[in-house]
Each structure stands twice: as structure tokens, then as C-alpha cells.
Structure 1
């Protein structure tokens, strides 16, 4: 990348690439690459992405502070394809990383289920030609900050702050649970996940800091004031029957695991978009990833933080350590003039009034 291209950014800044893939509805996300594709038949796209050896696509260039810093690369494999055909998914992610190398990226970030299918990037740790990060350290930092803000706003006068973390044994879920327990930001934690041995081990560890319950039953969130959703699924998993009256759901999943129908069926519930940060000067040229200019998913922002700080080599692979979470906070503080703070709360992309919930 030329010196002119990097004007206005820190002198050590390097180029990065960020991987994305079509999410729940293929036509919608393919239309972000080329608008006419948005009108195509869903069944045809499902068959084509599953069966055809489609190469990764450079769908957008990334501008920050008026300078081109990197690229967004589309992995042509849908959410259900990645989860249902993980070996093929890993192969296609590998091809996208190859493209990132050819684009001159020093770091590549794994967006959405490209992280899940590679074990949080662990399957890519042998790559010596590019640094890899799954973006989960700064995602955990951002979700933790959003959860605390919601707790302060929603339960300011309550004496029993009960938070449920769904997907607690995942890469982000484990870190967020540990952050909330570290300085007793909550009075009670309920951890929900599928893997009982890992879940019990996490609950035993965090239970030394704050009262903690571990369960594989989603119904256990029914009396939680705040539900933090950090699962990896192609479908919505939280329904109106799962939530307490007036509950707040912080959904930091991509593809998202809540449906807009939830707030229609349960108008007393507030769903807040999680893991989104402000980057006022951010512009994507050529396509978009479902957010307006000036906003980014925290995993994207982590990749940008590493590039802007001149980081060399891998960063967050697998479950982030709390030291890695704190490091991303330090990097964000050093680049605060560019943004990197949690975005004002939205619900399914629409602004929420001050003093969430409604």
C-alpha cells in the first residue's frame, strides 16, 4: 500500500482484509455485492453456493479517515452451508485467506461463521504468510461494555442483577462471562450452552467470583433481566416464551439469532443489537456488510485496530484471553480519535431512544 494511500493514518498502519459470507437469506447478502442479485431465487442460490466451485470475491474496499486501509472479501458459502459442511467451509475460508494475501493484507479478520468453522481461527494458525484474528477479543470487550451500560440503565435501583449468557462456552461467550464476573458487575450469572463438561468447568471457575448457575436448558433464562446472546446458529433461537416480562436481549450474533417477530409478539421486551462500534470515518466502497457508513461489527473493528497499530502475526485464535481483551481496549483508547467505542443502541438497525429499554 502506497504512502499516499495511508495518508492521515498512523505511520505504522498496515493493510488488512476482513472475511464475510452470506447469512440467513442468501439473496439479501448477495445483493450487497451486486444489487441485481438481490432479486434472485433463494433455492437457486442455495444450490449454486453449495455445489459450484465459486472463488472468493473482493466485494469492497475499506476507507478509514479518507484512506484505503483494506478490503472486504466474500466467502461464497452461506451460514447453513458453513455449519452443515464444515470441511468444505474451511476449504473455502482458506481460499479467501489466500486472496487476502494476494491483496497485500498483513492481517485477516474472520467475520461471522468463518470464525466458527475454523475453530475460532485455530485451523489457520499454521499460516505464516498473514496474521489471523477471529475478532473475538474486541467483540467481548464491546459486548461487556454494552451489557454494563444496559445494566446501569435498566437495573439502576435493583438489588439483584441477573444476567444470562447464552452460548457461554463459545469463544466470545466465555470471555464475556468472565468479564462480567471479574469485578462482580452482576449479582447472578446463568450460563447456558450445549457442552456440559465445558459449561460446568466455566461455572465452577466463575462461581468463585459471583453466584453462577450452569444449564443446557434455554428455559432457564426466563427470569433473567438481561440475556446476552452469543450463539453460533443459522436461525433464531430465542422465542417470546423464553423471556421474563420487560427483559432486555443483547444479541451479538451474526447471523443474528433473534427475529424481528419477537418484539411484535412481546412488546415489553427490548432487543438490542450487540457488538457494533462507531467508526465515523469508515466507508466501504463497492459493497456493504449490512451496517451504515460509520459503523462496524466489533470483529471487523478488531482487525482494523491491529492493522492501524502495525501488529504483526496472529492475534486472537480460539477463546480470547482477558489479557487480549484488555489489549484491544488499550488499542482502542489510543485510537479514540477515530472512534472504536460502542455504538448508540439500536434494535434490528433502528435507533432506540435514550434510556433503553422503552
Structure 2
């Protein structure tokens, strides 16, 4: 609460280790590179796109991480853009591997794979032979956070007289599959629409969940047009969800990085609410020397998972590929054990701006 003292370093566990978290430039290269050094924001994106693709640039230690007043880790920049990682995955894996080497040099016990560094390494699977550092893709706590946010939105911003119809876009991905399973586990929704590229994978997921909740599947984004809540968890360098895809009054939870919605969606569809997904409050968190697009005290859930593991003294790999529900529950338990530091979903925002508060409706899902 405002005015409350921040936790001190003494509040950190005695067995706490340190971590590194990998990031990369997203859609607007110059904007993200300016977070490393402000003058870099002056050059055009085209120049950076050419340079990042062609030059053998080393990883950059762009910020130190402090929690509770103690230095606990670093943010390491992989010098490869979002589109580069998706279009040149082999080269992207090499650059991610070099960034993991940098994490080892920094003394980190755990390294977290931010944004598309997880995608290009198959959720960290390509790094599983490393024995010099623990690796996590951050997707277990991301799934936990998105699940919590989705349930809150169903209880506060969705008409309780309607069936709770949720569409998960990117359902065959590492986070999407886990979120769908969490929502089905205790029937938090009445209908699930699973959207992804691979129909065989969608069919396998739907078969596992269909005995718990009415489930349909599609590889066409138009299939979300009847959903009350659309959870966006795709791996793309661009906005993929347009105004034509959404039902009247729909709520969109965009938990992607790079994000897959654009502010123009709100202009075209003022009836739609877009919520920033996967963002946590860690009040004593500070990044020294750079930032990752969030204010002090806030972090993406994949970053928070890496911090939770390091602060709890975890050793070895954690989430690789699709996280298990046991791993999701474990991260929730870790967050509860460090609740004095925060590690809880942030107040809802839309493109970084606070959303007006709404009263909780009746018929809140369990």
C-alpha cells in the first residue's frame, strides 16, 4: 500500500542465489535498444534490423536487478530482434546460447528465457544438456498468473448471465496449453475454444480436456468471435488480433511478448477491453542501468519465475517445454512463501495505463 516501507535485504531467504534473465529487442528495435543506451534510439529500425542480423554482436549485460535492496541478478540482452528469432531460429539459438554463457560468467545459478528466447529454444529444451546453470522458460508461473487474471476478469468484467466462454489463442504453445488445462481442471469456464496452428496437437489437447469442460478447436482466428474472454498467448512478432475477430464487449487478455495487440484496436472497437497479461507486482524490484519496458516494482511473470527459483535456492533446470500443472502449483507455492516481497498479479492495465476499477460481479468462478 502507498507509504508502506519496502522489504529489506534481510527479508530475502538465506539460501537465495542469483539469476540472469534474457531479453531481446521486440517489434520496435530502436525503442528497445534505447533502453540499453538512450542514443541508440536515434537510428532507424531498418539499420538495426540489418546490423543485428549480419553482425556477430555479443550479448549485453544491460541492467542489474535488485530486490529487497540486495543485488540478486542481471538482465542480459540477446542482440537479435523478434522477427530475426522467428525467421532465423538456428542463428537465434546460437545467440541465446552465448547469452546463457554470459549468465554463467555473471555467477547466476538460474537463467530465465524471456519472450521469444524461449520459443526459439523449444521452451529451453535445446539447452537441457547444460550442467553449468539451471534453465527455466518462465512458463509455469506465467500460466499461473494468466490463469489468476483470467478468473478475475471472468468475475469482474464478463456478464454473469452468459456462459463463461473463453478462447485460448496459442493453445498448443507452452503457456497456452497449461492455461487451458488450469481453466478446465476445476471447470472455471463453461466453454473453451482452443486456437492454434496444428490441428493434431489441438485435437490431443481437446481430448484431454473435453471430459471436464465443453471444448472446441480451430486453426482459424475467426473462431474466437463468440468468446467473452480471449486469452492471447501466441508467438508472433506482430499484432495478430484485429477488431473483426471479437464479439461485442469482449475482453482480451494479452499475455504475449512481443504483444500481439495494437492500441488501434481500442479505437476501432471502443466496446472491447484489452488487458495487459502476465504482469506481477514486486514492490522492491529495481533495475539499475536499463529497463525492460515496465516501471520499477513490476515484472513479467517469466522474469518473476526466474527470481522465485533463485531466491528459493533452486538448483538445476525447472520448466522446459510445456510446464506440468505440478510445476505451476510449485511456483504458486514459492510465490506464497515470498508474499512479503509481492509476487502477485498487478492491478489491471491496458497498454500500460490503469483500467477503471469495476465492482466484482456475482457468480465468480472458483
Superposition TM-score, scaled by structure 1 size: 0.97
Q: Name the SS of the counterpart of 2:126 in structure 1.
A: helix
Superposed CA deviations along residues 306-327 of structure 1, whole A, max 9, x for unmatched, are: 0010001000000000000000
**4+ aligned runs moved over 3 Å, structure 1:** 5-8
Superposed CA deviations along residues 121-177 of structure 1, whole A, max 9, x for unmatched, are: 000000000000000000000000000000001236224010000000000000000
Question: Partners in 1 of 2:10 and 2:337 — Cα distance?
Answer: 18
Residue matched to 1:266:
269
Given candidates 168, 187, 191, the residue that maps to 1:188 is: 191
Superposed CA deviations along residues 302-348 of structure 1, whole A, max 9, x for unmatched, are: 00000010001000000000000000000000000000100000000
Q: Quote the offset at 1:356 in angstroms.
A: 8.1
Task: Determine if the alignment matches structure 1 residue 318 to structure 2 residue 321.
Answer: yes
Q: Quote the offset at 1:8 in angstroms.
A: 4.1
Given candidates 210, 215, 223, the residue that maps to 1:220 is: 223
Q: Quote the offset at 1:355 in angstroms.
A: 1.4
| TM-align CA RMSD | 1.2
- For structure 1, the 5+ residue unaligned runs are none
Residue matched to 2:308:
305
Given candidates 151, 157, 168, the residue that maps to 1:154 is: 157
Question: Partners in 1 of 2:243 and 2:44 — Cα distance?
Answer: 30
Question: Partners in 2 of 1:159 and 1:265 — Cα distance?
Answer: 25
Q: Name the SS of the counterpart of 1:32 in structure 2.
A: coil
- For structure 2, the 5+ residue unaligned runs are 1-7, 361-366
Q: Name the SS of the counterpart of 1:68 in structure 2.
A: strand
Quickly say closer, same or farther: Cα 1:356–1:42, change in 2 above 3 A: farther
Correspondence 1:60-209 to 2 at 5 A: 60-155=63-158, 157-209=160-212
Say whether the 8 Å CA contact 1:16–1:107 is kept in structure 2.
yes
Say whether the 8 Å CA contact 2:9–2:68 is kept in structure 1.
no
Superposed CA deviations along residues 199-254 of structure 1, whole A, max 9, x for unmatched, are: 00101110110000011111010010000000000000000000000000000000
Say whether the 8 Å CA contact 2:9–2:67 is kept in structure 1.
no
Say whether the 8 Å CA contact 1:6–1:13 is kept in structure 2.
no
Give the length in aligned residue pairs: 353
Question: Partners in 2 of 1:272 and 1:353 — Cα distance?
Answer: 11
Quickly say closer, same or farther: Cα 1:124–1:151, change in 2 above 3 A: same
